[in-house]
Amino acid sequence: MRQDQQRVDMALERYLPPAVEVPATIHESMRYSLFAGGKRFRPILLLEACRLVGGEARKSLPAAVAMELIHTYSLIHDDLPCMDDASLRRGKPTSHKKYGEAIAVLTGDALLTHAFEVLTREQVAEGVPTEAIVEVVGLIARAAGTMGMVGGQVLDIQHAGTGAGIRPEQLSEIHHRKTGALIVAAVEAGAVLGGATFEQRESLTAYGRNVGLAFQIADDLLDVHGTVETLGKDIAGDVARQKITFPAVFGVEASRQMGVDSLIRATQALEGFGGEAAYLRALAEFVVSRAH
Amino acid sequence: MRQDQQRVDMALERYLPPAVEVPATIHESMRYSLFAGGKRFRPILLLEACRLVGGEARKSLPAAVAMELIHTYSLIHDDLPCMDDASLRRGKPTSHKKYGEAIAVLTGDALLTHAFEVLTREQVAEGVPTEAIVEVVGLIARAAGTMGMVGGQVLDIQHAGTGAGIRPEQLSEIHHRKTGALIVAAVEAGAVLGGATFEQRESLTAYGRNVGLAFQIADDLLDVHGTVETLGKDIAGDVARQKITFPAVFGVEASRQMGVDSLIRATQALEGFGGEAAYLRALAEFVVSRAH
Higher-confidence residue of A285 and B1: namely A285
Most confident of A241-255, B188-202, B274-288: B188-202
* Span B139-152, average pLDDT: 98
In this prediction, residue B288 has a pLDDT band, given cuts at 50, 70 and 90, of confident
Give per-residue pLDDT as tens, B31-62: 999 999 899 999 999 999 999 999 999 999 99
Yes or no: say if B46 and B60 are a contact pair by the CB < 8 Å rule.
yes
* Span B145-172, average pLDDT: 86
Give the one of B113, B138, B154 whose C-beta lies nearest to A26's C-beta: B154
Yes or no: say if B70 and B144 are a contact pair by the CB < 8 Å rule.
yes
Amino acid at B250: F
Q: Please list every residue in chain A whose beta carbon sits closer than 8 Å to the beta carbon of residue B117.
A: 138, 141-142, 145
pLDDT number for residue B160: 81
Give B13: exposed, middle or buried? Use CB within 10 Å, 0-12, 13-18, 19+: middle
CB contact under 8 A, A147 and B17: yes
Is the predicted pLDDT of residue B180 greater than 60, yes or no? yes
Angle at B190 between CA B184 and CA B194, to 5 degrees: 145
What is the C-alpha separation between A60 and A268, in angstroms, rounded?
Answer: 25
Amino acid at A202: E
Q: Judged by CB atoms within 8 Å, which residues 88-117 of B form the interface with A?
A: 100-103, 105-106, 108-110, 112-114, 116-117
CATH assignment, A2-289: 1.10.600.10
Q: Please list every residue in chain B whose beta carbon sits closer than 8 Å to the beta carbon of residue A145.
A: 110, 113-114, 117
> ipTM of this predicted complex?
0.94
**What residue spans define the domains of chain B?**
2-289
Nearest CA in chain B to A151: B23
H or E stretch covering B89: strand B88-89
What is the C-alpha separation between A106 and A78, in angstroms, rounded?
Answer: 13
Beta strands, E only, chain A = 88-89, 92-93
Report which of A116, A67, A124 is spatially closest to residue B116, judged by C-alpha positions: A116
C-alpha separations of B41 from A31, B22, B45, B128 in Å: 35, 31, 6, 23
pLDDT number for residue B163: 60
Give the residues across from B92 on adjacent strands.
B89
Amino acid at A151: G
CB neighbourhood size of A65 (10 A): 28
Q: Judged by CB atoms within 8 Å, which residues 137-196 of A form the interface with B?
A: 137-138, 141-142, 144-147, 150-151, 153-155, 157-158
The ranges of chain A with pLDDT < 70 are 162-164, 226-242, 291-292
Give per-residue pLDDT as tens, A244-259: 889 988 889 999 999 9
Distance from CA of A182 to the nearest CA of B (A): 13
Give per-residue pLDDT as tens, B207-224: 999 999 999 999 889 877
pLDDT number for residue A240: 55
Report which of B189, B175, B190, B186 is spatially closest to residue B208, judged by C-alpha positions: B186
The model's pTM is: 0.95
Average pLDDT, chain B: 91
What is the C-alpha separation between A134 and A150, in angstroms, rounded?
Answer: 21
Yes or no: say if A80 and A102 are a contact pair by the CB < 8 Å rule.
no
pLDDT number for residue B289: 83
Higher-confidence residue of A161 and B80: namely B80
